[in-house]
Structure 1
Amino acid sequence: MGSTVGSAGHDAFGERSVRTNTDAVAIDLRRQALADRGLKAHFKTPTTPDVTSGIETAVRTVIAAASLSPSQIASVTIGTTHFINAVVERDARRLRRVGVVRLSRSFLREVPPFAEFPSDLKRILQGHVGIVDGGLHIDGSQEAPVVETQVVRECEAIKKAGLSVVVVAGVYSPIDEVFQQESRVRDIILREIPGIDVVCSREVSPRIGFIERENAAILNGAILKYARRTVRQFKLAMKKLNLTCPLFLTQNDGTILDSSSATRIPISTFSSGATNSMRGAAYLAGMDGRGGFSAIVIDIGGTTSDVGVLLPSGLPRQAGSYVTVAGVRVSYSMPHLHSIGLGGGSVVQVINDNVRVGPESVGLELTSRALVFGGDVCTTTDVCVASGKAEVGNASCVKSIDQALLLHANARIKALLEGAIDVVKTSPEPLTVLLVGGGAVLAPEHLEGALKIIRPPFNDVANAVGAAIARVGGSVDIVQGTTHQTELQAVDHAKTLAIRRAVDAGALPSSVQIAEVDSMPLQYVANQIRTIAKAIGDIDMNSKIEESAADETEKDQDAEPEEAKDLDVNISTETVVDPFTYKPEICTGTRGISEWIFSETDIDWLADGCYVLGCAGGGSPAASQIQLKRMLREGHKIRVIDSSSLNGDALIYWGGHMGSPAVSVERLQSIETVYAFQELMRYMRHDTFDAVMGLEIGGANGMEPFLVGSSRFFDAPVIDGDWMGRAYPTYWQTTLAVHKPLELTPCAIDSGDGKTIIMTRAPDDEIVDRALRASCSEMGSRVGMAAKPTCTEFVRKYGVLNTVSQAWRIGRSIAQARAANRLSSVAESIIAEAGGKDAAKVLFRGKITRVERRLFKGHSYGTVYIAAFSRGEEIDSSTNSTILAEGGELQIPFKNENIYAKHVGNDGDETILASVPDLIAVLDNESGKALGVPEFKYGYAVTVIGITCSPRWTETPRGLDIGGPAAFGYDDIHYRPLGTYVEPKSVIEEFK
């Protein structure tokens, strides 16, 4: 327990509940400048099954040891795993069914709530689902006003379902400062169903990204009742200790919540343990985040070591925008950690004359299995004692350990820690390393990559100390217009909002500072930027801290013993397809041609492959992936054919999406492209067509023809090919425009909410894109597009063929690498599927150190900077191919998609490794999947690959004019082929 209070005569406490121990500390914050950092007492006690007794024991002990009276305690702060455990363990006793009411008149129907939840968790949580009018556009205007009668109708269904909690989620609710749609719907629900819990998605997560925000709100709603019960029990423990001070809980980002807020947003405490350890390490080392430092923290436990970076703000470097909890993608802050299998219980063994340390561990059995405790397993603790680093157990039990074994084991421990340091660093410069945790004694006195090593005093209770000194935070994620203000003014406004929210959360106004800020333009959206800001400050103990109004019925229930957990609960494991043996279904269609009948596995692999071929653009395929898989489950069919199967007189429609990915992540997938096809068919007087083809294979647009061609809509086969072989930012950058100019009109776009435009003719192809894009901006910044129907001759002569097969094979290679636990070589697997080493290459490996973004004429421009790994231990070099460039830095400018890759060596020499129209993809080393421009983030470890483009782009000068470096304004860069193009192998031909 604890607080950042510094008022005279007050002490602070910190506690973290973990699986094995509950730690408590007493800190006199008046003495934090001293060597002991004011820590007066600390205590460990085994964690108890109930919530209160372990905490009560630990706190009572430190109060007595520190000779404190209850009146001297300024605050109580708890870091707990109770809430996340209830979700991870599928504990139905502590979870409730959740109703969901979405706000949008025209969208959100294709990707339903709970769509990504594991089936067992979905069975426990899913309640009523309804959609009412509402929602916002990206510019903050209303898509539709809330209709009260619709909300009342949903209330009747919620009551009938017997639900006690409901989530309200609206499109772009985080930027809804004017209409307050979610709040209005909540008020109606509370009026119609008194006593029900209503969770507004924007209050749980103020971030853009509808699915992840709604998912977070659902999990939050499911544990609300249990959170209230738990917090009341925390307070009961305090009451037994005669403590009347405020109660706080630690959050995932290193800040705290008052107990009342914690009962409303318990999900924000899910992953606070690691953060507490990192913050506690900095405090104990006298580096509390206010001096502009960066440091690496290594928390060595019994089984694993968690390694993270503390930023100059004093807060941990955060993971990506979205994280996964219990198999569910959610949007909330969480520290970015690299974990290795090294702890006090790690097994030390000799295999084939080599000494191996971990990842096997005796874990909780250390005190009975390790040699120093009379056991029969050699562990790192035994090595530590035998090396004279620690005095634990009976040292005579390890005297017989061979000195050579000790030497090699200590060398391996050193190498593991140095490799982990390299993974989290973002530059070759050494950083200070803070060692904490019960296993901190395992580390050597010197580590490569460490400026210096500090083992702070009391480092084994750093987690509790981190809880004690946590600060108050406020954050915003907002989209703003820049028509009537500058970008700098917009950023300042976001900072002001973040500071205001920190103060509202209980921060002392004079102590609040901006911890982080990031501003980025939105593709295809004129005069709009998205800004994320976070402010932190000390607790203002003079501010009025709201206490939650306890429900008397629930209070009575607290007295009742909790029923035993059902250990036989059916925690299902999803059926996993073996990517090494799976074969796609190829059958003979009505005309005697071979057709590829898509399965859910095919959809998954296609999605991953499309994002790689998107070259960081094209938008995330995630929502399309959910939509298409749902359609298959409902019995619809998706077919793919080779271009060789087309009749000579076939009528072929093609198209896709146009607009901003920032709209896609809120509106989700819809059927505006279907509407555009319908409008163009009416204009062209076509009742049907023979096949559909994609505008581009890259990103979400690579999935769009499968929606249109499904039996749900036009029941037309999808051609294995597209008009780019990748993703490009504009409609006219197609191989059709290269070889057959003026074939883009007539065409149609549709917004999905009742707005349609048909463009009948144009003097050149470029003006078509410019005109449609201007209309797109006025129509909500995202539209479906149907292009002029084409013919078999043009598809075969000018299309990039077999790219559906190529995307599928790339996705399969990622799945195989994951299944075989060899993600370190996923780049080589992708290269093999993209034509081999003569057609594709690994360009670079390193870590993203900087991302610059700007907006010009609706497009997102910028550059991502990637620094080479200072060492390569994290990559098994025996399985990897030659890298075109090592050391130095790689710079990749982008205009929605990556344009070229320039290597800057340590000596300053510059080399263009690859450029458009060749494909440049950035792969995330942790997942093996591609990163899009929106996911480029500081600190990511990545591998950059290049793939040679189709000769459709290079066989005429016009191809390079449209798709080469000069098309993006880089006249000084001359395209040089990365390799020799190899046409992708047809899946249909292989498996028919």
Structure 2
Amino acid sequence: MYKIGIDVGGTNTDAIILDEHRHLIHSVKSPTSLDIKTGIETALRNVLKEANIDKTKITHAMLGTTQCTNAIVERKKLARVGVIRLGYPATASVLPFTAWPKDMVEELSGNYALVHGGYEYDGQLLGALDDNEIKSLLEEWQGKVESIAVVGVFSSIKNDQELKVRDLIQEVYGEEFPVSCSSLIGSVGLIERENATILNAALCKVIETTTQGFIHALEEEGIANAEVYLCQNDGTLMSIEYAKQFPILTIACGPTNSIRGASYLAQIKNTMVLDVGGTTSDIGVLQDGFPRESSVAVEVGDIRTNFRMPDIISVGLGGGSIVRVNNGKITIGPDSVGYKISQEALVFGGSTLTTTDIAVRLGLADVGDKNLVEHIDEAFAKDVLIEISSLIEQAIDKMKTSSEDVQLVIVGGGSIIVPDTIRGVSNMIKAENGTVANAIGASIAQISGQYEQIYIYSKESREDSLKDAQEKAVKQAVLAGAVAETIELVEVEETPLAYHPENATRLRVKVVGKME
């Protein structure tokens, strides 16, 4: 029995094969192609050819991809979205798409409607839903939208109106028509939750192309019966069907794969992780084996959202970062030779000075031809290394929650550029096979389910509220592909809402289970 894990990075696409005991059988790196698809196919073909295993014994295939992130950043391949906000006239002062970049609004069509509906902050009815109002709107939008985002005021307390609108849309447009409900995606905060829901709706075409492309690539290599999963951004996996409902959850899955892979390789559940790629370095924190979640609103493609995202800091420092001297001052990156490092770096016969050349000159790494960098002045190389240390130190300080020194696990293909000592770090671990930690993280992940809602403890006891939230989180995990009997509770977060008179609490519950 074997598992295949593939992770698409900005520079390289990594592919690995694990056996049933989670032992690494083989790994490959191939440059990430511009269309991404070709890079995935190449990595898959190479790892299967070199490992020479029985393909019929491959039971699971996992993909961590940047395609949804790229689509938002590049404003490409996005669906035309219609936005239905339930909350007229109470929310008319701030309209959908407020503070959005103009080019993004044009890409998504900018169709929106404020209709009657929504709830008050204490769960009382703000406005009744008008079925005919929704149906006449859908007639007007026929052929103009490819996906719809449904957003109800305080649907994080009560979401029956959103679900009713979803049913009405699929009655008119068909069962397969993509609908995103905000209560299933974002947290408290109408505008940020709405923004996250619109982005989720916009990604329906991208995720369809991605999933079908991966399945097709597997079939081309003779892998027809494997269970296929996509990585999500809390370090767990989701089924293809679940990914089609919540494509936004693939955003930032790359760093979380690396963090999970680092935890597995180093056998540590609580630590800080530095993942150094070819272009950027990501720093995250492991808590009980899972990436720490961000507690603040996160911007995705210059759009403010509040859906679940990992707490990650990215620095423009990688193995391919270009080193320059401007007016006597050393600068590193943020631009990089990226996947062209094997042609452009000095040690490979190129003409661009990179951080990898500095690492080879100082004896930190043994790649390429070290004779090609002997001309670099050693004192200059050491000064560059001090600058690399400084960039890493500053990022680590931002992630710390206390002034104490931290333990740091280092992974990623660009980790050769990291100095042996860094201020603020008590213990540094360079994990074996850390260069493919991202693909390993994708392969060893479990399936998760998460549910978040505002509960009013004066109306429903804390025990009943917890039970309800856990049951709903378990349903999400099963929908994402987990085996019900293996699901266990891993996290409960309670946030009392100070402005609410009746002891209201935002309750977030997370469960994880094994894949089928």
Fold-level match, TM-score > 0.5? yes
SS across alignment from 2:413? coil
Q: How far apart are the structure 2 equivalents of 1:380 and 1:309?
A: 25
Which residue number corresponds to residue 120 of structure 1?
Answer: 103
Once the two structures are superposed, residues 654-688 of structure 1 have per-residue CA deviations (whole angstroms, 9 ceiling, x without a partner) of xxxxxxxxxxxxxxxxxxxxxxxxxxxxxxxxxxx
Check the 8 A contact 2:473/2:509 in 1, yes or no.
Answer: yes
Report how far residue 425 of structure 1 moved: 1.4
Deviation of 1:433 after TM superposition, in Å, equals: 0.9
The answer to whether the 8 Å contact 1:182/1:200 transfers is: no
- Partner residue of 1:298? 274
1:152 equivalent in alignment to 2:119: no
CA deviation after TM superposition for structure 1 residue 377, in Å? 4.1
Q: Is 2:172 the counterpart of 1:192?
A: yes
262-271 or 368-377, which moves further after superposition? 368-377
Q: Give the structure 2 partner of residue 370 of structure 1.
A: 345
Match of 1:738 in 2: none
Paired position in structure 2 for 1:90: 75
Percent sequence identity over aligned pairs: 36
> Compared with structure 1, are the counterparts of its residues 167 and 484 closer, same or farther at alpha carbon in structure 2 (3 Å cutoff)?
closer
Which amino acid in the other structure matches residue 272 of structure 2? I
- C-alpha distance 423-65 of structure 1, shift in aligned 2 (>3 A): same
Verify: 1:226 aligned to 2:206, yes or no.
Answer: yes
CA distance in 1, matches of 2:343, 2:210: 33
Distance 1:415 1:122, change over 3 A: closer
Map Cα deviations across residues 305-345 of structure 1 (whole Å, 9 max, x no partner).
22111112x22122234211122122222222223333223
Distance 2:38 2:334 in 1: 34
Displacement of 1:358 in angstroms is 4.5
Equivalent residue for 2:150? 168
From 269, 273, 284, the counterpart of 1:308: 284
- 1:473 is the counterpart of 2:456: no
Residue pairs, 1:515-530, within 5 angstroms: 515-530=490-505
> Which residue identity does 1:307 align to in structure 2?
I
- Tell me the alpha carbon deviations over residues 788-842 of structure 1, each in whole angstroms, 9 at most, x when there is no partner: xxxxxxxxxxxxxxxxxxxxxxxxxxxxxxxxxxxxxxxxxxxxxxxxxxxxxxx
Shift in Å, 1:485: 4.7
Cα RMSD (Å):
2.5
The counterpart of 1:39, out of the listed 24, 36, 41, is: 24
Cα pair distance change 1:206/1:421, threshold 3 Å: closer
The one-letter amino acid paired with 1:470 is A
Distance in 2 between the 1:364 and 1:503 partners? 38
Give 1:23 shift.
1.1
Partners of 1:502 and 1:529 in 2: how far apart? 26
Q: Measured at CA, do residues 188 and 341 of structure 1 come closer, stay the same or move farther in structure 2, by a change above 3 Å?
A: closer
Counterparts of 1:375 and 1:150 in 2: how far apart (Å)? Answer: 64
Secondary structure of the structure 2 residue equivalent to 1:494: helix
Provide the rounded CA distance (Å) in 1 between the counterparts of 2:360 and 2:392. Answer: 19
Task: Choose from 71, 76, 84 the match for 1:101.
Answer: 84
Counterpart residue number, 2:232: 251
Superposed CA offset, 1:535-568 (max 9, x none):
2423331xxxxxxxxxxxxxxxxxxxxxxxxxxx
Task: Give 1 or 2 for the bigger CA radius of gyration.
Answer: 1
After TM superposition, give the deviation of residue 524 of structure 1 in Å.
3.1
Give 1:432's match in structure 2, choosing from 407, 422, 432: 407
Match of 2:39 among 54, 79, 83: 54
1:464 corresponds to 2:439: yes
Which amino acid counterpart does residue 502 of structure 1 have in structure 2? A
Which of 60, 63, 81 aligns to 1:75? It is 60
In structure 2, C-alpha distance between the alignment counterparts of 1:483 and 1:315, rounded to whole Å: 33
User: What is the distance in 2 between the residues matched to 1:364 and 1:52?
Assistant: 15
CA distance in 1, matches of 2:29, 2:144: 43
For the pair 1:337 / 2:287, whether they are aligned, the reply is: no
1:281 pairs with 2:262:
yes
Equivalent position to 2:366, from 378, 381, 391: 391
Pick aligned residue for 1:404 from 371, 379, 394: 379
Q: In the aligned structure 2, how far is the partner of 1:218 from the partner of 1:117?
A: 11
Deviation (angstroms), 1:357 = 4.5
Q: Secondary structure of the equivalent of 1:130? A: strand
1:701 is aligned to none
Q: Deviation of residue 248 (structure 1)?
A: 0.8
Q: Which residue of 1 aligns with 2:190?
A: 210
The aligned runs of 1:806-885 (5 Å cut-off) are none
Per-residue Cα deviation, 1:122-157 (whole angstroms, up to 9, x for no partner)? 112134322332212223232233221211221221
Counterpart CA distance in 2 for 1:182 and 1:340 is: 39
Structure 2 unpaired stretches of 5+: none
2:457 partner letter: T
Looking at both structures, which has the greater relative contact order when contacts are Cα pairs under 8 Å and sequence separation is at least 6?
Answer: 2
**2:245 is the counterpart of 1:264:** yes
Quick one: which amino acid aligns to residue 491 of structure 2? E
Partner of 2:120: 137
- Partner amino acid, structure 1, of 2:273: V
Secondary structure at 1:329 match in 2: strand
Among 9, 15, 27, which residue is 1:18 paired with? 9
Contact 2:487 2:514 in 1 (8 A): no
Code of the residue aligned with 2:126 in structure 1: it is: E
Instruction: State the one-letter code of the partner of 2:151.
Output: A
State the Cα distance separating 1:348 from its structure 2 match.
Answer: 4.0
TM-score (normalised: structure 1): 0.49
Cα 1:12–1:477 shift into 2, 3 Å = same
- Decide which moves more: 16-25 or 264-273: 16-25
Residue correspondence of structure 1 range 525-564 to structure 2 within 5 A: 525-541=500-516
Aligned residue for 1:335, secondary structure, equals: coil
The whole-number CA distance in structure 2 between the counterparts of 1:356 and 1:17 is: 28
Offset at residue 50 of structure 1 (A): 4.4
TM-score of the two chains, using structure 2 as the length reference: 0.92
Aligned residue runs from structure 1 range 408-807, under 5 A: 408-487=383-462, 490-491=465-466, 493-541=468-516
Mind listing any 5+ residue stretches in structure 1 that lack a counterpart?
1-9, 33-37, 288-292, 542-992
1:172, distance to aligned residue in structure 2 (A)? 1.9
